[in-house]
Amino acid sequence: MAASKTLGCLVRSAPYAERSGRDALDLVMAALLDGWHLELFFIGDGALHLVGAKQPSSAGLPGTWKGWKSLPELGPVRAWVEASDAVPGSLDTHDSLLACRETNAGDMAKRLTACDRVVML
């Protein structure tokens, strides 16, 4: 059996900032379905993807937005948000769309270096 590969994803664009609001989510879902392990890093405006369903409008999201929440069901996912970019209330376990741990730039760089591939979204 081949060893698992890890894909590091830097999510830095705000929800719906791109032509398609699902570009980042679609890419990470495809990677999981292809057998990749994911290391997600939410930085800057990308942290708005974490705002929970109770306040989706503050991130420009529809009330039914739950795509990020379903990722752990598809495969191995570890998610991080840079502490300075944390959205108030977004990391509350009852309100977050994806369980994330806070990290700093130095630790994030080490984790990204350990990934087999890295993409910026």
117-120/101-103 β-pairing: unpaired
CATH number at residue 93: 3.40.1260.10
Q: What's the burial of 88, exposed, middle or buried (CB within 10 Å: 0-12/13-18/19+)?
A: exposed
In a domain, 1, yes or no: no
At 57 the pLDDT is 55
Residue whose pair of structure tokens reads 């998610």 in the numeric block:
79
Residue 54 burial (CB count, 10 A): 12
Residues 4, 37: contact at Cβ < 8 Å? yes
**Predicted pLDDT at 5:** 95
CA gyration radius, the chain: 14
- Predicted TM-score (pTM) of the model is 0.78
Position 1 scores a pLDDT of 43
Q: What residues pair up with 6 in beta bridges, in sequence order?
A: 37
In a domain, 67, yes or no: yes
Q: Residue 25 has what pLDDT? A: 84
What is the count of structural domains for the chain? 1
Assigned token pair, 87: 């959205």
Residues of the chain with pLDDT under 50: 1, 54, 89-90, 92-94
